[in-house]
Chain A
Amino acid sequence: MHKIHLRNNKQYSLINRRALANVVTSAIILSAVSIMGVMMLGWSNSSLATQKQVIEEVFSTQTNKINEDLIFDNVWFSTVCPGRCVNVTMSNVGTLGLNVTEMKFINGATLAELKIFTYNKAGIVPSGSFSTNATYSWTSGDDIDIVVFTNRGNQFTTNVIAP
């Protein structure tokens, strides 16, 4: 009887411990699932935000590059700038403002760089023009490629021959 009692007590005690383990196990599982879920959620949000930013940058860069357009109004060779120089007048015919950052004179025959001009205040509003006297000792018959770079990375080219 005692044994039975003991056994019964033991059984009782085991039964009670088994319930506790379940709770603990459940808590552990819940915690683990929660932590994993939060981590996964955090990771996915972070990843999505990064992706968004990347897309945003790619989009704006590409779109703005597409919408940027510049033409050479006129290029003329002067002898009184003072000295010999090349007047380059360009117009922004795109829909966005643009900044001319650099202009290169390249020998049209040898492709050698003749002269580089840099600009930091050469913004052109849409439909606006920018004119610059580029000092360069041209000689008659010079074949010159003029390449203009913008801050968005576009480049525009024309070719002229000195009179």
Chain B
Amino acid sequence: MKKHRGLSAVVGAVFLVAVVISALSYVTYSMNVLGNFSESLITEEKRQKDKQGEEFEITSIDITSANKLDGIVTNTGQVPLEIKSLWIEEVGAPNSVKKFDIGKTVAPGDQLDLINSVNFVMDPTKGYTMKMVSGRGEVQTFHVNSVSSDNLYLQTHALPAVISTEFDTVVLMTVTNNATNSATILNLTPNPFPTVDTSSCLPNCLATYVSGPTPSSYPSLKSGEAATFKWVYTIAGKDSNTIKFTTSILNGITTNTASANGEVRDIVSALESGTALNTLGLQTVTGSKDILYLHDENWFTPNGEYQLQTSTPDLGGDFVDIDNENPTWITNNGTDTVVLPAGIWTASLNYITEFLPDTLVQSGNNQVDMIFHLNKNIDTEPDSSGNTIGLDRCNSPSAPQYFSSGGPDNSPYYHFDGSNDCFTSNFSIDTNTFANIQSSPDTTAFWFKANNLSVNRAIMFRVDESITDYSKSFYQISLGDGNSGSVGKIVFEFDTNNGGSRTKCISTARWDNNVWHHVVAVRNASNQCKLYMDGNSTPVATDTHSYATSTIIGKSKFKIGYNGIGEYFTGDIDQIFHWNDKALSTSEISSLYNAKYGDTATTINFSIYKTDYLGNNIGSPIKQSLNYPIKFADSGKLDDSNSYNSLADSIWNQMNYTTGSISEVTLDPTQRLNFTMAYVSGLDMILRHDDNTMISPKSSYLQTTTPTTLFPAYFTYDKSNRLQVIAHNSGPYGSWFVYQGTRAIFDSLSSTTSYAAIICSVNSTQSDQCVGNANNDNWLVTENRDSIFIPINSNVNLYFWSIQDRPDRDITGGTVIPAGNYHMYVFIDGYDETGKSFLRQMDIGNVKVVD
């Protein structure tokens, strides 16, 4: 039994071990499972934490000059950010949705420039809803030029709400971004003009726009933030009349508006005048009302455009390379509506054309050496390269015969009669580095036309050292080589070894078919020749013979249409170009062939638009002329951008661009006129503008029909002169100004310090309009003396003491206004001839103060 009991114990122990092992393995497995589960949870938690730590912000959105979407996205979170995609939807056009895959990673604190990742052309006048998605699933929605599909909280106030007639009120609109989707609104822009409802006025009343909206837009409005815009209106009407101003957001929901009433107060018992005084701005040298000069300055233009204004040119002139800039000139906006009656507009433009296509404008020995356009019809046709003194007619004045049109691209040309017509150079070839036949390479090109020749050799271009025969060195292009079988064939031959062997290229076909042909004769550095016709890259003739060169003996001239020994050319020749040190490549030959030196040297797109105050075009163009041909204008020199400004006024050619009849154009107070020239093709056009030395023709300008009101100018004030403001009394009463209140105020646009000046005289004729002497007594305005009487419909010149931070009569103290950009106002205190007083604040607009 004892033995059996032991056996049972063993068996039991075995089973116990088995059970324990099973239990342990189960426990271990369970723990592993729990471990894996925990690990998954940790991973997921980390992912969620990263997601929570991910933040980004659309810092800005811009529209480039090419209307491309640009903007900056900043990673404001703690973890690297992957910008996965951007969705763009045009508001009101649900099928316009576009998705852009970006897939770029931005480190914390870094920024992503959208222009490099998204190629999207925007319409600045339309609203867009955009949605940016990150790799971790963060989605940010924002609106550009748009306020989504939600109403925003708008409030509008008229301040003051009760306005004396002829006084200003400020219309204030506050926009709160309470959109439920918490989206940021970028480039929040109000509709430029509040709707003004005067229908309840009896008999009528008026709200005249003065300025605004200020600011014109808000770059970014986050959820919960508020933006404020203001407009200024001058109110006129009868007592208790109510004017309703309704404001709204550009591209917003139509019904999302806010209104405020302004009540007119006409205090008949008070001594307040209804005399209307308008400012005509600062003194400017103004030309005709209908002539808008193309200025070189671009300050105060909305997007860096050049200024377009009636003030006469104020610089010594500058040039604009049209193909580099596609320039735009734009008028200022102002406070008055400008109406341009129907009629024809004309742009008078001063310009030159670059002498060769860009690829052929080179330097050193690769530069062209002689250019004879043969355009002048004078006995000595000039060399337009400026390198030589030109070509003389052999038998002046009528041989060869000049034709003012009919050449290649309808350019002028010369006809050679085959008996005694020719040109010879005004210089000897061995003393000139521009027509030296001894050294190679060379290229000679020109246009010719001949008709069914009968002579065995008709000389078109020749350089030689002897006028007697072919026994010396020469370089010659002709039709026919002197043999009867070669009549009409194009020949390029040269002898550079003093009567030895010649290199000769001769075509197999005749080229005397009464059509203009372009020939390019190329002598390479090895003294071999090739002949190219009409821009083709395959030569019509080649000669690979290469002979040694010898010294040129004697002096001679080169000749057009003549070989010096009785052989003349019958036909037409034009546009001779010669490179003395360069063999043109086939692509250069093609460029030269395609360059036009006649009526269509350059083609330009002209456009005239009405724009808003931001310079955005409104609607279809007032006038657009596409592919407008510009005639070749020779400057007579090998000019480049360093020398354009040194050209004499007389060098600049004048042309007119005429629009044809244009319907009446009305420019609202905040609208502008935009004149743009865009290069299309051809030789470069170099335009001269803002040249105060040009008299006839005048500096470049755009002439419109005569406007009802002077276009607003871009004001500049030279502080070394007395400040002069022009005011106009449009009635109904004559008036006087008084010394006590009349001021000119300059609100700095860049600093917190503003400046002002006290009036000193009206209509003074003295050189110093503020001088205190007997001669000026008639005009001075002082504490003891009011201004002269200002009749209805008259202009007066107001002169002011020095502009200072503490205005005074130029006595000690006060800092004079520094140069800079300011917003200028004029405040006038006076009374009219009915005994009523008036106070006027006139907004002059932005003024540039210069030293």
Contact = CB atoms under 8 A, between A and B. Distances in A.
Interface in A70-98: 71-74, 76-80, 87, 89, 91, 93-95
Interface stretch (B18-26, B361-369, B586-594): B18-26
B149 A41 contact: no
A89 B87 CA distance: 11
Interface string B26-58: 100110010011001101100100000000000
A36 to B, nearest CB: 9
A29 interface: yes
A79 B94 contact: yes
A14 interface: no
Dominant secondary structure at the B interface: helix
A77 B149 CA distance: 13
A114 interface: no
A125 B120 CA distance: 29
A44 B19 contact: yes
Interface stretch (A48-56, A99-107, A142-150): A48-56
Interface of A: 22, 26, 29-30, 33-34, 37, 40-41, 44-45, 48, 51-52, 55-56, 59, 62-63, 66-67, 69, 71-74, 76-80, 87, 89, 91, 93-95, 127, 161, 163
B390 to A, nearest CB: 69
B8 A29 contact: yes
Contacts of B87: 73-74, 76
A161 to B, nearest CB: 8
Sorted nearest first, the 3 A-B pairs with minimum C-beta distance are A93-B137, A71-B137, A37-B15
A23 to B, nearest CB: 8
Given A73-B139, A91-B137, A93-B136, A30 B11 contact: yes
B84 interface: yes
Interface residues of B, number: 38
B97 interface: yes
B89 interface: yes
Given A76-B94, A77-B94, A30 B7 contact: yes
B26 A51 contact: yes
Nearest to A81: B95
Contacts of A34: 11
B33 A80 contact: no
A74 B149 CA distance: 16
Contacts of A51: 26
A5 to B, nearest CB: 29
B12 interface: yes
Contacts of B8: 29-30, 33
B785 to A, nearest CB: 69
11 contacts: A30-B7, A30-B11, A33-B11, A52-B26, A67-B44, A71-B139, A72-B139, A73-B133, A74-B97, A74-B133, A93-B137
Contacts of A55: 29-30, 33
Nearest to B45: A66
Contact of B12 (A33, A45, A71, A79): A33
Contacts of B524: none
Q: Quick one: which of B7, B8, B94, B136 has the most chain A CB within 10 A?
A: B94
B131 A74 contact: yes
Interface string B511-524: 00000000000000
A44 B22 contact: yes
B276 to A, nearest CB: 49
Given A33-B12, A59-B33, A73-B133, A91 B84 contact: yes
A95 B89 contact: no
B4 A22 contact: yes
Given A48-B25, A73-B85, A163-B94, 8 more contacts: A33-B11, A37-B15, A55-B30, A59-B36, A59-B37, A69-B47, A74-B131, A77-B94
A163 B133 contact: no
Interface string B658-669: 000000000000
A45 B41 contact: no
Interface in B64-87: 84-85, 87
B4 A52 contact: no
B401 to A, nearest CB: 68
Nearest to B10: A30
Nearest to B48: A69
A66 B136 contact: no
Nearest to B36: A59
A93 B15 CA distance: 52
A66 B137 contact: no
